[in-house]
Structure 1
Amino acid sequence: MANPKYKDKDAGVVLSFGGQWVSWTHTAIAYAAFLSALIVGVSLHYTKIVQNEWYGYPEEWFPSVSATIGDRYPERSVFMLFIAITSGPRFALVGLWYLLTAKPGRVLPKAIAICGVVRTLTCGGWTYITSTDDHDWHDILMISYIVFTIPWTTGCLALSPPNAKAIKYRKYLAGAFFGTLVPLVYFFIQHKVHRVAGAYTIYAFFEWSLILFDVGFDAVTALDFSTFEVVVRDVKGLSKGVNTSSVPTAVLEKEKEKATAGVFAAGFHLGDALDIAADVYHGFVFWSILTSLGVVIWYFPLWHMGISGYEALVMATVSPALLGITPLRTLVIKNQRITHLLSLSGLLAYLVKGPEARLFTVGFGVWMGCLAWAATLYSDSVHPAKLEARILAWTIGLIMSSVAKFAWYTNNPIWPIMHAENGGWNGTGLFLAVLAALRFTRRAPLQSGDNGEKSGSPFLAAFGIGGLFFGLHSLLSDTSTMILWVWDGYPIRGPVSNVHGWYTIAAMTAGLLAGVFQPGVVTTWTAYGVGCIGAAVLTLYHHWFGYYGALTLAAYLMAISVPLIGNAAKRNPGTTFGLGFLIYNFLVLFHVWVVAYAFVPGGPLVREHTDWIMITMMALIGAGVFNLVSHNASRRKTNNRRRAGAAGHRKYHIGSLGFLNIFFLCATFLRFPTNDYKPYHADDKVFTAGIWTIHFSLDNDMWSSEYRMRDLIKEMEVDVIGLLESDLQRVIMGNRDTTQFLAEDLGMYVDYGPGPNKHTWGAALLSKFPILNSTHHLLPSPVGELAPAIQATLDVYGTLVDVFVFHSGQEEDPEDRRLQSEYLAKLMGSTDRPSFLLSYLVTKPLEGNYNTYVSETSGMHDVDPTDWDRWCEYILFKGLRRVGYARVSRSTITDTELQVAKFVIPRSAGEAQMAWSAPEELRNRRVQEWEVPEGWRFPAMFRGAGVRDHRYHVFDEPRYFN
């Protein structure tokens, strides 16, 4: 029977056609734009458009999209003509999609329509502003296009009419589009960073595939637009909810819900979205405060050179043990808003100037935060959907913390060691935290008594929580941690932090989604075995293979966190979280003891046993898994209820995950290395080398010191610098990496040195010159701490120069230092290239082991044998012409000065021979500053009183040699 509303549908219509022709027209013209440009370009300028910055034909034999559409006439004009014609159907397509999906009271269709319009505009931007015209804006607009493609794609899936065929095609094409991004980025890095011949051709194929999939995704709208007739009139009534299919609407809606996993079954509500945003941000605040505790504790043993007593505050996390006392549990649960707000004191700590008071302020914030979250989880455990939402807020908060740390070069902007002077956003973070905490706690607690859960062991649940939280904190609170575990020097054979960090976030995201949607798969011994294999591979191997293990472990830890935390929340929180955090604390101490064994009681028992830590962590998680597996039947019922009732909040959590991933990728683009670094005085063929012990990037007042270090290194015009006490990739040090900020801000190549699983205090190398090769050494240390060294070969103005960065063992172990001096002397003597050493030797000038380092075996000379005031830092050299030497006071940045020396590469064979064999009196001849070229001189700003408490000291002025 005809619908009377449309009986006069032909009245007054001059021209009409089916809405699907908008889609087909858009598809045909869009494909014609790209393919016609490709045909014309290959026909007229083939060898020119396959040429890139490194290679041409035959190494590269297929052009990229950008080279095809933007570099040459007439293909550029042909493309722009067609793409201009495409814009009309494109805007019509977005408009018709909005009309099709808009329903009264729904916000999502409007948001997706806006994304579609912005996406269309940015498409015009990167196609009309080519990489030849303006490379930066072309890339910015292209990335913006990809970013807006994410909500457009997911939104189209969410809003899809109940058309099973269209939904199927959209899923396939969207999956192909986003799946192509991974190899696309990989081969672009191979081309751009590693300069692999042929990589850009493979990248080009993936780039063209993106075009095909992207346009194809929009072409699927033809299957839905058949309900429209233009002049735009809904001739079938689908946009009004009338079912035009022979298949019942209920069946089609069920197919749609199945295709989208039920996530988008409910409508979009701004209030719900704000609730989830507040929850996630509150979770981020918890992790920010928790991860800051170790950093402020670490300050004190640094200055005491041993146990200070303040380490006891690591136990601040055991506060949930109080919830084992029923009256206290009831009191905390009924006053959750107060406890959550009190936990924000950890963010206020940046206003406290004294280190001791700041530490206790953070400790109080951690105490209240752990107490409040444990109470909230227990309270909400009676409602599966609410409990899942809380767990997701906690775990996504961890991901947000890792994302924020990446954007701030491994420092969290709201940590108490941050403030406005070093990049902190403490005030903004605190303001948002108060709003988030108020919204997080705006509903009354669901229950305060015993929830009746008796199955399973609370002690096994506590073991699982302890192992899980240690794994999340120690490995996943920063995206560079596991990358540095597998780092092994140059040439690069594995991931690097500022390029590949997103892979860790992607693995964490995928794992968390698996834990939500497939809890039955995650809580099996098979999945646990896969996680154990990932942990073993990460611990035992380097380079990409080791990182594959890291990604496997990251995904597993995030996946198992959902059922483990959910299981623990249903039992007595005093046991599950109180004991769980106590076990976590012991693992944290174990984590420090393996490298700090020389300073702690019983340290030698666990010396260098990171493998024991990993085994213990996985065994504890295994105990939690056993607790879950042993009660499969009851758990399966719970999971079924959760799947049925939890879908409403999931779309918002998935949206927050998508936003965080997009934000991370944008930060990655901004941090992508340029590798076009230039020394300060290239025309004079001179370079400045420096050595600095940076005291773990905490200054004397407990502020993060990267900015201040950056300023002094830049103003001293240091081209190559060795950094010691630089490994911060542990819980107690905040899982940081100072070298990332310094290298990227100063424009330098960086070798982190022996990674955090090598049990040293760290040695790093930063260089304005390319690092061609580097090897990491762990020197003999039978008694004391391990001594790290880096041996690297630099390309200095076309000459191969070797540099050694070395940190000797401590004063208390003379035999260690003797063996280390002999090892390093032989290592330095093994090269016949010009070389220099940047070191911390723990010896007096001209005495003891000094005469092993400066000897015929090493071939090295002291930068200034007359400088009697040194105790630790030394610069040695051979085969170079040393022209200057200075020591610069540290101010309050660290406990050690900056030492620098200037060297000139010999210009001729005769000059090189003199550099190798000149007698001491000639080699150490001093001259006045005016006698050397201006490019050889040290900056004048540090003379006299200097600036910011940095000045040349000991000699009053720097020394020059000739």
Structure 2
Amino acid sequence: MAPRHRDGDVVASVSGKWVSWVHTVVAYAAFLGALIVGVALHYKKIVQNEHYGYPQEWFPSVSATIGDRYPERSVFQVFIAITSGPRFALVALWYLLTARPGTTLPKFVAGVGIFRTLTCGGWTYVTSTDDHKWHDIFMISYLVATLPWTLGCLALSPRNPAAVKYRKILAGAFFGTLIPLVYFFIQHKVHKVPGAYTIYAFFEWSLVLLDVAFDAVTAMDFEGFELVVKDVKGTSRGNNKMVVDAVLEKEKDKQVDQVFSLRFSWPDALDAAADVYNGFVFWSILTSLGVLVWYFPLWQMGLSGWEAIIMSTVSPVSLSIGPLRRFVIQNIRWMHLLSLTGLLAYLVKSPEYRLLSVGFAVCMSCLSWAATFYTERSQPARMEARISAFGLGLMASTIAKFAFWTNNPIWPVVHAQNGGWNKTGLALAILAVLRSTRRTASSGGEAPSPRAKKGSSALAGLGLAGLFFAMHSLLSDSSTMILWVWEGYPVRGPLAVPHGSYTIFAMGVGLLIGLFYTDFARSWTFFGIGSVAAAVLTTYSNWFGYYGALILAAYIMALIPVLITSAVRHSPATTFGLGFLVYNILVLAHVWIVAYAFVPGGFLMREHTDYVMTVTMLCMGAGVFSAQASEPNNARKSTNPTARKQRGYYIYVLVALQLLSASIAYLRFPSYNYTPYHKDEKLVTAGIWTIHFSLDNDMWTSERRMRDAIKELEIDVIGLLESDLQRIIMGNRDTTQYIAEDLGMYVDYGPGPNKHTWGSALLSKFPIVNSTHHLLPSPVGELAPAIHATLDMYGELVDVFVFHSGQEEDVEDRRLQSEYLARLMRSSPRPSILLSYLVTKPNEGNYNTYVGEKSGMRDIDPSDWDRWCEYILYKGLKRTGYARVSRGTITDTEIQASLSPTPPLLNMSAFQNLVSCAAVRILGKFAVGEPEGSDTLIAEEQVPHGRRFPALFRGEGVRGHRYHVFDEPQYFE
């Protein structure tokens, strides 16, 4: 046998622990050396941030210390370069210490360690000053890799109680520090709290110290290693030394989490990824159906008949037919492939046929998944895999919407021009179906024992109804429940970014509870906790309400394994068919609480979110009752090594999704350094736009086209009406996120989805100092939302009101609303602007309440006789210009009706009014700090260039947008 080491004289030897000590000392020297030099030479400069300097801020952040100035930057870079050698050696020694035959985890952890070292060099030598984008990419990559490195080191730790203890303490402190770190960063960035960045800096430095200290613990493990240099040719003049040629013995009985103890298999990992992607496709297709259906009642201003397509979800009822059930089960791959027509639907131009295509896809998808669950019912391991894929698919869909500003990139209402990834999504879906269905059982599986307790099939079906509705209505977008608890500025609760990642994290925790702690997940104790959380979310706002949302999210996800496992013990036609039928009723109910004015018997559901939430929880409770009456079927699953191994791959996917979510939250975090278009002239361009739920005439989402128009019109402050899309039928979307982030604007969403309005929102280049939300008197008709916001415009506080009044038919509602708003505007002592939808003619009726002594407000252009809905009023500001811009094809689905026969259910008077007020966007220009001025019109030549409207929209304009009615802007003296 060949010798393990070549013979030769020992030149030098050193204990392996010194690799850890050198790494620790040099790394600390890099950071602390830069801190000492920076404080000594540039103290006041490195504590300065975009809001405050010394003395409000008195301790520098890590980034300001190591990357902004010479020579501290050079000190840091030199020592970090020296650290790289011990760092690579540390990773190598850790791999040698933990490597075992037949295991892949040590290799994975070593690869992560190398990746972290390389990305550390990236953000070290590419500073934010050099290239902010690449600095952030390297930094995010490093932080993301920290989680698997930390968890991997904990999982592979040798039997050294002291080392394990310190690793747990340091890892817990590291991740625990992230919470106050994010909190104080938001206090600094969003609330501009003096001194908040100093506290943030302390936590940031703590992360650095804890990160290095975690790796320093390896010194306790490396004591058994000795690094030896041998002279095998006799060329050395060094002294011979005796060393022990030994390596650390394998620890055969070491305790490692059973889930990760078996050999890693890439084919099995691909199977898990394919399963989860199929779940993602299911939820993408299902969540797209409501958006397409919603287009038609918008077009007809009432029930259109196309709403019946939502019943396509009840297709599992057909599985009651024996031959058909056997056919579906034996051809499950083809059923899944047929469901992919929903991803091809974006190629269909006709809205009607596109809806029919998606309806067929939903039919096939619900049928396929019900049959898949039923087929796997006798195979607990495969059953858990499908359930995990179903839950993780929802998480993947939610994360995709988190990344794409609440639009799913494979929906049929998006395409390449407005942010769609349809071709990529379809190609991956085909591959995923082909892979995940290659081992599906074709016999239908063994039925449970006739003597086994199965509970009630009807209650199991109700449980699925509540579960599916809760998943879809509350968890299909990470911002939905955040907007439920939103109450305006100053911020007193969560924000869609970054706190949407908190919702996603809670979803992951809930799914793990359902998989690992099934008995607790199906207990009445947990149901009680979930019910209390639902009540808290429904009745409270701000952070307290959101805490209820997080607990409810975890509870809903924990029920997925419990309720589906219980349901498959019965006929899928009963459980899944009934489940989707009641789910559809709940979908309609949670729309009718807002749309009560347009549907028969709508008054019964008016403003009753509490009813819908109560029924949802009762349905899930019925499912829990049935599940408790069933015998658990997890004995084989818990003892089968293959099942434990398979579970591990889905947990890997879950961890990857959580890391992706955190990365998206970091990348999307707003800068809050917004600048008005004409700051030198102290000019404000304000506008009002009824965006009609962000669907254009051809059934495409319109955020990007809206963004272009707002940008080209140089609008600083804009009110958006009919903007609440946080319902199943509207896709659980939020148009304001994309526009605000892309254009650099603060946003107030207005009254949330649980306030039962069609929505009002405010976007502003100026900081929103304070905002309150109002629901104006509406005894008969739909609720009228209003926002009263105070903005900091060039150092002067200006009030902005955004308001949507009731319909023409509700005369008394509109009168009461006009009086309420007039009093509200009159009470403001500050300069004010009203951006509104008033439903009145100039100089008639309620117009004289909105304009005049009762309100203290002036009309921006009393000579504009051709108005019915959209108005801009003002006081205490100099009005310099006024314009109306045609809508093109962006927002008005009902404008199509004027080009085609009148639909039979269309209210003609309401339609004419909508065409009148939705045809244009109303714009006004104001000069801050100047007296109001007169109504005298002046020629454009007399107006300074900085105060003029963009010439781009003159004549034929651009993309269907042009100055309208007057064919040119109006300017005032």
Q: Same fold (TM over 0.5)?
A: yes
Q: Partners of 1:687 and 1:729 in 2: how far apart? A: 30
Superposed counterparts of 1:525-540, under 5 Å: 525-540=524-539
Q: Partners of 1:236 and 1:277 in 2: how far apart? A: 45
**Residue 935, structure 1, aligned to residue 931, structure 2:** no
Give the secondary-structure state (helix, strand or coil) at the position aligned to 1:874: strand
Give the secondary-structure state (helix, strand or coil) at the position aligned to 2:10: coil
CA contact (8 A) 1:686 1:902 kept: no
Shift in Å at residue 840 of structure 1? 1.0
Superposed counterparts of 1:6-21, under 5 Å: 11-21=8-18
Residue of structure 2 in register with 1:317 after alignment:
313
Q: Partners of 1:755 and 1:106 in 2: how far apart? A: 51
Moved more, 462-471 or 185-194: 185-194
Moved more, 771-780 or 136-145: 136-145
Give the secondary-structure state (helix, strand or coil) at the position aligned to 2:686: strand
Taking structure 1 as reference, are residues 174 and 594 closer, same or farther at Cα in structure 2, changes over 3 Å only? same
Superposed counterparts of 1:940-951, under 5 Å: 940-951=951-962
Residue of structure 1 in register with 2:447 after alignment:
451
Give the secondary-structure state (helix, strand or coil) at the position aligned to 2:598: coil
Q: Partners of 2:728 and 2:408 in 1: how far apart? A: 14
Shift in Å at residue 228 of structure 1? 3.6
Residue of structure 2 in register with 1:386 after alignment:
382
**Residue 585, structure 1, aligned to residue 581, structure 2:** no
Q: Partners of 2:423 and 2:136 in 1: how far apart? A: 33
Residue of structure 2 in register with 1:369 after alignment:
365
Give the secondary-structure state (helix, strand or coil) at the position aligned to 1:901: strand
**Residue 887, structure 1, aligned to residue 884, structure 2:** yes
The letter for the 2-side match of 1:489 is G
Could you give the per-residue CA deviations for residues 750-792 of structure 1, whole angstroms, max 9, x where no partner exists? 1111100000000111111111111111111101100111111
Superposed counterparts of 1:88-127, under 5 Å: 88-102=85-99, 107-127=104-124
Q: Partners of 2:3 and 2:189 in 1: how far apart? A: 59
Q: Partners of 2:365 and 2:165 in 1: how far apart? A: 45
Superposed counterparts of 1:732-811, under 5 Å: 732-811=729-808
CA contact (8 A) 2:688 2:923 kept: no
Could you give the per-residue CA deviations for residues 815-858 of structure 1, whole angstroms, max 9, x where no partner exists? 11111111111111112322121111112222222222122101
Could you give the per-residue CA deviations for residues 307-356 of structure 1, whole angstroms, max 9, x where no partner exists? 11111111111111122232222111111001000011111110111111
Residue of structure 2 in register with 1:628 after alignment:
627
Q: Partners of 1:572 and 1:638 in 2: how far apart? A: 23
**Residue 722, structure 1, aligned to residue 733, structure 2:** no
Residue of structure 2 in register with 1:546 after alignment:
545
Q: Partners of 2:39 and 2:969 in 1: how far apart? A: 61
Residue of structure 2 in register with 1:574 after alignment:
573
The letter for the 1-side match of 2:348 is V
The letter for the 2-side match of 1:951 is R
Q: Partners of 2:604 and 2:229 in 1: how far apart? A: 79
Structure 2: which 5+ residue stretches go unaligned? 231-242, 893-917
Residue of structure 2 in register with 1:179 after alignment:
176
CA contact (8 A) 1:228 1:236 kept: no
CA contact (8 A) 1:688 1:900 kept: no
Superposed counterparts of 1:234-253, under 5 Å: 242-243=249-250, 249-250=252-253, 252=254
Give the secondary-structure state (helix, strand or coil) at the position aligned to 1:778: strand
CA contact (8 A) 1:123 1:142 kept: yes
CA contact (8 A) 1:228 1:235 kept: no
Name which of 331, 334, 341 aligns with 1:335: 331
Taking structure 1 as reference, are residues 446 and 382 closer, same or farther at Cα in structure 2, changes over 3 Å only? farther
Residue of structure 1 in register with 2:909 after alignment:
none
The letter for the 2-side match of 1:383 is Q
**Residue 413, structure 1, aligned to residue 413, structure 2:** no
Superposed counterparts of 1:59-138, under 5 Å: 59-70=56-67, 76-102=73-99, 107-131=104-128, 135-138=132-135
**Residue 402, structure 1, aligned to residue 398, structure 2:** yes
Structure 1: which 5+ residue stretches go unaligned? none
Taking structure 1 as reference, are residues 133 and 401 closer, same or farther at Cα in structure 2, changes over 3 Å only? same
Q: Partners of 1:106 and 1:642 in 2: how far apart? A: 20
Q: Partners of 1:372 and 1:767 in 2: how far apart? A: 47
Moved more, 473-482 or 793-802: 793-802
Shift in Å at residue 60 of structure 1? 4.0
**Residue 959, structure 1, aligned to residue 970, structure 2:** yes
Give the secondary-structure state (helix, strand or coil) at the position aligned to 2:9: coil
Taking structure 1 as reference, are residues 275 and 636 closer, same or farther at Cα in structure 2, changes over 3 Å only? closer
Q: Partners of 2:867 and 2:664 in 1: how far apart? A: 42
CA contact (8 A) 2:380 2:634 kept: no
Give the secondary-structure state (helix, strand or coil) at the position aligned to 1:949: coil
Shift in Å at residue 877 of structure 1? 1.6
Residue of structure 1 in register with 2:349 after alignment:
353
CA contact (8 A) 2:485 2:540 kept: yes
Taking structure 1 as reference, are residues 677 and 43 closer, same or farther at Cα in structure 2, changes over 3 Å only? closer
Aligned length: 933
Give the secondary-structure state (helix, strand or coil) at the position aligned to 1:684: coil
Q: Partners of 1:933 and 1:56 in 2: how far apart? A: 37
| TM-score, length basis structure 1 | 0.92
Moved more, 164-173 or 283-292: 164-173
Residue of structure 1 in register with 2:812 after alignment:
815
CA contact (8 A) 1:462 1:577 kept: yes
Q: Partners of 1:524 and 1:645 in 2: how far apart? A: 28
Moved more, 556-565 or 272-281: 556-565
Shift in Å at residue 155 of structure 1? 3.3
Could you give the per-residue CA deviations for residues 582-601 of structure 1, whole angstroms, max 9, x where no partner exists? 11111111110100000011
The letter for the 1-side match of 2:416 is A
CA contact (8 A) 2:46 2:60 kept: yes
Shift in Å at residue 170 of structure 1? 3.7
Residue of structure 2 in register with 1:431 after alignment:
427
Residue of structure 1 in register with 2:235 after alignment:
none
Residue of structure 1 in register with 2:505 after alignment:
506
CA contact (8 A) 1:330 1:449 kept: no
Give the secondary-structure state (helix, strand or coil) at the position aligned to 2:262: coil
**Residue 344, structure 1, aligned to residue 340, structure 2:** yes
Root mean square deviation, CA, Å: 2.5
Give the secondary-structure state (helix, strand or coil) at the position aligned to 1:775: strand
Moved more, 537-546 or 591-600: 537-546
Give the secondary-structure state (helix, strand or coil) at the position aligned to 1:13: strand
Could you give the per-residue CA deviations for residues 61-91 of structure 1, whole angstroms, max 9, x where no partner exists? 5443334444566655544443332211111
Shift in Å at residue 906 of structure 1? 5.3
Q: Partners of 2:751 and 2:632 in 1: how far apart? A: 44
Q: Partners of 2:326 and 2:760 in 1: how far apart? A: 51
Taking structure 1 as reference, are residues 112 and 128 closer, same or farther at Cα in structure 2, changes over 3 Å only? same
Moved more, 455-464 or 593-602: 455-464
**Residue 659, structure 1, aligned to residue 681, structure 2:** no
Q: Which gives a bigger RCO, structure 1 or 2 (Cα 8 Å, sep 6+)? A: 2
Taking structure 1 as reference, are residues 56 and 868 closer, same or farther at Cα in structure 2, changes over 3 Å only? closer
Q: Partners of 2:837 and 2:69 in 1: how far apart? A: 57
CA contact (8 A) 2:34 2:72 kept: yes
Residue of structure 2 in register with 1:899 after alignment:
921
Q: Partners of 1:528 and 1:797 in 2: how far apart? A: 52
Q: Partners of 1:450 and 1:326 in 2: how far apart? A: 15
Give the secondary-structure state (helix, strand or coil) at the position aligned to 2:264: coil
**Residue 277, structure 1, aligned to residue 273, structure 2:** yes
Shift in Å at residue 726 of structure 1? 0.3
The letter for the 1-side match of 2:589 is F
Q: Partners of 2:707 and 2:733 in 1: how far apart? A: 16
Q: Partners of 2:886 and 2:404 in 1: how far apart? A: 28
The letter for the 1-side match of 2:110 is A
Residue of structure 2 in register with 1:480 after alignment:
479
Name which of 143, 146, 155 aligns with 2:143: 146
Residue of structure 2 in register with 1:832 after alignment:
829
Residue of structure 2 in register with 1:193 after alignment:
190
Give the secondary-structure state (helix, strand or coil) at the position aligned to 1:718: coil
Could you give the per-residue CA deviations for residues 93-151 of structure 1, whole angstroms, max 9, x where no partner exists? 12223334445665544443332222112222333444566555444322221112223
Moved more, 830-839 or 311-320: 830-839
